[in-house]
């Protein structure tokens, strides 16, 4: 697969672990410089050390920033441009889910936090990336949503509503930013991450049996899709949502 990512610079939010770390590692493997961002510098430094050890030729920068903090986000994007001269790929991956239960019972503070991190951060970081260099030099944006944004589900309805918003934001940005910047989205199914631990930790075998491909996802499954959408192989795609879920969303239509 031709990615054309050699020498490009990619910024990944929520990159200290899980899907974000796997995406940053996969981009580095393709020869991209990677900028890792999340809340805790110590965790980022550890992730950066692992990526550098695995891919010594890649440029790696770790810059802590709370994804919902506008000033911290701007400082992170500025650091990426200062270190590598520009920004070619943005992966909006950071997410949170502080509430489990009926949507009618969610407290305003939990709702606001979920929107800030999952939804508005996509707008915020996209704005910053455009102003930093993408508006002039072009690029690719990959937003990480969820299959929950396509279906209804008990317990995590409000989280899923913000992920549905990410899917729509991706379409809207794709229309507004074409042809210079491509914007696509990934909707992962259940993936073995810390954020989703409460869903899979005691039920992994059962979920695997209920999934057509026989297992829940690994972060690397999503990373492969992100590399595809960030690179040249998807150069005629924009505004699309790629579902990567082991077939879980089609299971009602199979034997």
Task: Supply the residues annotated as catalytic.
Answer: 159
* Helix ranges restricted to H, 103-155: 108-114, 121-129, 135-137
Estimate the share of the chain in helix, then strand, then coil, as percent rounded to the nearest 5: 50, 15, 35
Burial (CB < 10 A; 0-12, 13-18, 19+), residue 254, is exposed
Q: Give the angle 208-214-215 at the CA atoms, nearest 5°.
A: 50
Q: The tokens 């549905």 sit on which residue?
A: 164
- What single-letter DSSP state applies at residue 148? G
């Amino acid at each position: 697969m031709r990615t054309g990512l050699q020498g490009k610079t990619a910024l990944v939010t929520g990159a200290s672990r899980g899907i974000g770390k796997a995406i940053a590692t996969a981009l580095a493997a393709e020869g991209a410089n990677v900028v890792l961002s999340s809340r805790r510098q110590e965790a980022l430094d550890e992730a950066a050390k692992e990526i550098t050890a695995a891919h010594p030729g890649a440029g790696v920068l770790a810059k802590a920033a709370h994804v919902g903090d506008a000033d911290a986000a701007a400082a992170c994007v500025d650091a990426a441009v200062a270190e590598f001269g520009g920004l070619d790929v943005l992966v909006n991956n950071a997410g949170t889910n502080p509430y489990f239960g009926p949507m009618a019972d969610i407290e305003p503070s939990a709702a606001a936090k979920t929107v800030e991190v999952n939804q508005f951060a996509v707008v915020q970081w996209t704005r910053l990336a455009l102003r930093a260099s993408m508006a002039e030099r072009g690029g690719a944006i990959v937003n990480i949503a969820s299959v929950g944004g396509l279906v209804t589900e008990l317990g995590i309805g409000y989280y899923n509503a913000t992920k549905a918003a990410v899917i729509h934001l991706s379409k809207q940005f794709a229309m507004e930013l074409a042809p210079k910047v491509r914007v696509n989205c990934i909707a992962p199914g259940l993936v073995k991450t810390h954020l989703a631990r409460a869903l899979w930790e005691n039920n992994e075998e059962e979920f695997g049996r209920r999934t057509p491909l026989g297992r829940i996802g690994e972060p690397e499954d999503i990373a492969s899709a992100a590399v595809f959408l960030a690179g040249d192989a998807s150069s005629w795609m924009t505004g699309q949502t790629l579902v990567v879920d082991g077939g879980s969303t089609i299971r009602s239509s199979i034997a």
